[in-house]
A and B are shown apart, each in its own frame.
Chain A
Amino acid sequence: MDETPSASGRSNGPALSPETMKRAYRDMLLVRRFEEKAGQLYGMGLIGGFCHLYIGQEAVVVGIGLNMKQGDKSITSYRDHGQMLVAGMTPRGVMAELTGRSGGYSRGKGGSMHMFSREKEFYGGHGIVGAQVALGTGLAFANKYRGTDEVSIVYFGEGASAQGQVYESFNLAALHKLPCIYVIENNRYGMGTSIERASASKDLSRNGEPWGIASRKVDGMDIFAVHEAAQEAIEYCRAGKGPFLLEMETYRYRGHSMSDPAKYRQRAEVEEMRRTRDPIETLKAEMLRSGIEESVFKDIETDVKAIVADAAEFAQTSPEPDHSELWTDILVEA
């Protein structure tokens, strides 16, 4: 029986060490609380334009992040805040970019959808659906060109998997045996269109088959399952065997973006997912079962709340970019 009434989901993945579980719990909670705060700031008018929240999908990026090493590269779409936090970018810098301030990663010139970190090997933050797949294949190309064993993690949604360049990329990656892990975050809805209405392929994990791309379908709400699959995929790529495709079955609780009337799905569906499959509650239940004490969670919650509050404060007090920023960074001075 589950100790926590809010989650009945039980992991099927192999056990993780208490330290790894604590790190995963902390990282997932950080993403969740960060996104909740971002939603709040958006509601206050402090964040403008488009803002796509990651809430519900935390196990995917955190489970993969546990297996990444320094030098591994990652790239994703516009639903990117979780990826950035897991890449090690600071909550302050990310939140201040959301508010369009000079303390943001792009000094306020990128916004929610466009942030990058050369230092953390995070390559964006891309607003054109599917573009990051070809770009991410190029990151893997660069790894191979330079002769390193670094891999590139390329996140995209099941919606993007309808784009032609995804399959051009699969072909190129398989042809050149590039160390590229393609992660389809299948959250069931491409904006408001369900996967059933958008894809004739019913099993996206098989979408790399024509090119012989190794793949797995994974319970993306279960950090243990994600961790195990990511480990296999990353080892495979590091060994030079070519690309790997992971289909993560996940779910986003919030709308596609903040301005989503959510008329395409029943509220009961969202509530059922939250109640039975929530990735954070599922991990917590496993941790409690393994004997980790309740106080650990309280401490993590307190820490995370403080980090997020600090980021939100910074994002509101950091000054707007100077007018001179308008004309910088258009070209690199040769």
Chain B
Amino acid sequence: MASLILMPALSPTMTEGTLARWLKAAGEAVSAGDVIAEIETDKATMEVEAVDEGVIGKTLVTEGTQNIAVNTPIAVLLAEGEDAAAADTVVRSADPTAGASVAIETSADPGIVEAPEVAQAENDRDWGETSEITVRQALRDAMAAELRRDEDVFLIGEEVAQYQGAYKVSQGLLDEFGEKRVIDTPITEHGFTGMAVGAALTGLKPIVEFMTMNFSLQAVDHIINSAAKTLYMSGGQMGCPIVFRGPNGAAARVGAQHSQCFASWFAHIPGLKVVAPWSAADAKGLLRAAIRDPNPVIVLENEILYGQKFPCPVDEDFILPIGRAKIEREGTDVTLVAFSIMVGVALEAAALLAEEGISAEVINLRSIRPLDTETIVRSVKKTNRIVSVEEGWPVAGIGAEICTVAVEQAFDWLDAPPARVCGLDLPMPYAANLEKLALPKPEWVVDAVRKQLRD
């Protein structure tokens, strides 16, 4: 049957073009792939190829015609054995209003689609007896427990096996689980992260250790484009159960390239979860949850905390939910929101404020994405003031998000503008005195609270 050749769209944005030249004339035979015409747009000259075989029955626009809309018939293609009369028939029968274009129904304001609620807060379960362990031990115990529990879990990274971990976090794991499941890699973050993500797409559950999170930038394409998005792009077929973990933020005197917080970088990405433990219990409970989670989870650890001791439940089943904050200290005058090592700074600030008769509530976020906004908002409605405390840079940081949550969801309860305490907006200096000046300390938090109470 004769068919119409339509003005093609040759780029995602093309709406019309000029028919510059016919390369086939009426009566000429064409096969699929033959170039039949040249089209010019404002960007380029492109060739129109025949998509089927046949004979050109008739051309419908002359060379040089400008502003031909996409999908306008430009020629008639006759099938084998048809004569030219068929060309007129098909042109007449073509309904100009129907055409071949599709009216893609534009969705209404996407704002009307409600995002699902996350992180319903509930009371922490009491896990009973605790013992004092370091954060390092807690992380190691969490990995050991999950490696024991699930054959599909393995640990991969630089120096995780024979060296026992660059920061000794994976101590003893090679001995217990062997080199099949505790795997040393060459210094090749892009490669081994991609490899681990590929393995996770098949259902294995890798724990990828970055010697420090600074090196995750070498692999960030796989974290964002491969791990976080594949579930969505595959229409839910292919999840990526993987953990990316390592020390994050400033250590001590290691300079600009090794002292930065990635919480805000990763928290920006839909498809990722991000947790940042402070205490040993946080570390153990959140890492276990991260390993069991069927999604990619970033675990932001902190080198300075590795050696600090905290009480941690001894219960073998101890685990914490991702997406839930913990109130570390209750108060009535101001809410201090912090994560990772800054929880300690916020608690010190709360103690200083108490000496002045100011009662501060301290929230340990534990989870950055999803963010437990309910706990934050409930606290703000009680204290009427909020100060976020983070080690990272201020611009587009986690503090900006927390302050926005307070303004959006508790505006009428606020007695002062929300405030941020952040690391200074500069690359980390090496000199001991300068480094000290660049990082948040309890006094900064106290000053921010005093200002809120004064103004």
Residues of A within 8 A of B (CB): 36-37, 39-40, 42-46, 48-50, 55, 73, 75, 104-110, 114-118, 123-128, 131, 133-139, 141-142, 145, 164-165, 168-169, 171-172, 175, 253-254, 258-263, 267, 274, 316, 320, 323-324, 326-332, 334
A-B contact pairs, 27 of them (CB 8 A): A36-B51, A42-B9, A44-B101, A44-B102, A45-B102, A48-B12, A106-B234, A116-B238, A123-B202, A124-B238, A134-B195, A135-B195, A138-B199, A142-B203, A168-B186, A169-B195, A172-B188, A172-B195, A175-B186, A262-B47, A323-B107, A329-B231, A329-B232, A329-B234, A329-B236, A331-B231, A334-B292
**Chain A contacts for B154, CB-based, 8 A:** 145
Q: How far is the CB of B351 from chain A (nearest CB, A)?
A: 36
Among B168-176, B220-228, B260-268, B305-313, the stretch that binds chain A is: B220-228
Q: Taking A123-B201, A131-B226, A327-B115 as contacts, is the C-beta distance between A259 and B194 under 8 angstroms?
A: no
Interface contact B294-A332, CB-CB below 8 Å: yes
A4–B297 alpha-carbon span in the complex (Å): 58
Interface contact A128-B221, CB-CB below 8 Å: yes
CB under 8 Å from chain A, chain B span 34-82: 35, 44-49, 51-52, 70-71
CB under 8 Å from chain A, chain B span 173-202: 180, 185-186, 188, 190-202
Residue in A43, A123, A259 whose beta carbon sits within 8 Å of that of B51 in the complex = A43
Q: Give the 3 A-B residue pairs with the shortest CB-CB distance, closest first.
A: A138-B198, A134-B194, A168-B191
Interface contact B235-A106, CB-CB below 8 Å: yes
Please report the total number of B residues contacting A with Cβ < 8 Å: 73
B448 close to A (CB within 8 Å) = no
**Chain B contacts for A334, CB-based, 8 A:** 292-295, 322
A169–B222 alpha-carbon span in the complex (Å): 13
Q: How far is the CB of A321 from chain B (nearest CB, A)?
A: 9
Interface contact B201-A135, CB-CB below 8 Å: yes
A55–B12 alpha-carbon span in the complex (Å): 20
Residue in B6, B115, B201, B234 whose beta carbon sits within 8 Å of that of A110 in the complex = B234
A175–B185 alpha-carbon span in the complex (Å): 10
Interface contact A259-B12, CB-CB below 8 Å: yes
Q: How far is the CB of B180 from chain A (nearest CB, A)?
A: 7
Interface contact A139-B201, CB-CB below 8 Å: yes
A118–B116 alpha-carbon span in the complex (Å): 27
CB under 8 Å from chain A, chain B span 96-154: 100-102, 104-105, 107, 110, 113, 115-116, 154
Which residue from chain A places its CB closest to the CB of B202 in the assembled complex?
Answer: A142
Q: How far is the CB of A45 from chain B (nearest CB, A)?
A: 5
B442 close to A (CB within 8 Å) = no
Interface contact B234-A37, CB-CB below 8 Å: no
Interface contact B195-A116, CB-CB below 8 Å: no
A262–B116 alpha-carbon span in the complex (Å): 46
Interface contact A39-B197, CB-CB below 8 Å: no
**Chain B contacts for A108, CB-based, 8 A:** 235
A138–B292 alpha-carbon span in the complex (Å): 20
Q: How far is the CB of B312 from chain A (nearest CB, A)?
A: 22
Interface contact B202-A106, CB-CB below 8 Å: no
Q: Taking A175-B186, A331-B231 as contacts, is the C-beta distance between A135 and B198 under 8 angstroms?
A: yes
Q: Taking A44-B71, A258-B11 as contacts, is the C-beta distance between A327 and B273 under 8 angstroms?
A: no
Q: Taking A36-B32, A145-B199 as contacts, is the C-beta distance between A331 and B273 under 8 angstroms?
A: yes
**Chain A contacts for B48, CB-based, 8 A:** 43
Interface contact B10-A145, CB-CB below 8 Å: no
**Chain A contacts for B202, CB-based, 8 A:** 73, 123, 138-139, 142
A81–B245 alpha-carbon span in the complex (Å): 36
CB under 8 Å from chain A, chain B span 232-275: 232-239, 241, 270-271, 273
Residue in B116, B198, B273 whose beta carbon sits within 8 Å of that of A134 in the complex = B198
Q: Taking A136-B198, A172-B188 as contacts, is the C-beta distance between A330 and B230 under 8 angstroms?
A: no
**Chain B contacts for A164, CB-based, 8 A:** 190
Known pairs A124-B230, A145-B204; list 11 more (Cβ under 8 Å). Answer: A44-B8, A106-B233, A134-B198, A138-B198, A142-B202, A168-B188, A168-B190, A171-B186, A258-B11, A259-B12, A327-B116
A5–B384 alpha-carbon span in the complex (Å): 85
**Chain B contacts for A320, CB-based, 8 A:** 104-105
Interface contact B226-A135, CB-CB below 8 Å: yes
Interface contact A261-B33, CB-CB below 8 Å: no
Q: Taking A42-B8, A123-B238 as contacts, is the C-beta distance between A171 and B107 under 8 angstroms?
A: no
**Chain B contacts for A165, CB-based, 8 A:** 190-191, 194
Q: How far is the CB of B370 from chain A (nearest CB, A)?
A: 9
Interface contact A118-B186, CB-CB below 8 Å: no
Which residue from chain A places its CB closest to the CB of B33 in the assembled complex?
Answer: A253
**Chain B contacts for A114, CB-based, 8 A:** 233-234
Interface contact A254-B201, CB-CB below 8 Å: no
A255–B238 alpha-carbon span in the complex (Å): 31
**Chain A contacts for B6, CB-based, 8 A:** 43-44
A107–B231 alpha-carbon span in the complex (Å): 12
Interface contact A172-B191, CB-CB below 8 Å: yes
A276–B236 alpha-carbon span in the complex (Å): 44
**Chain A contacts for B271, CB-based, 8 A:** 330-331
**Chain B contacts for A46, CB-based, 8 A:** 100, 102
CB under 8 Å from chain A, chain B span 209-224: 221-222
Q: Taking A110-B233, A117-B237 as contacts, is the C-beta distance between A138 and B221 under 8 angstroms?
A: no
Q: Taking A39-B51, A171-B191, A172-B188 as contacts, is the C-beta distance between A328 and B8 under 8 angstroms?
A: no
Q: How far is the CB of B248 from chain A (nearest CB, A)?
A: 22
**Chain B contacts for A327, CB-based, 8 A:** 113, 115-116
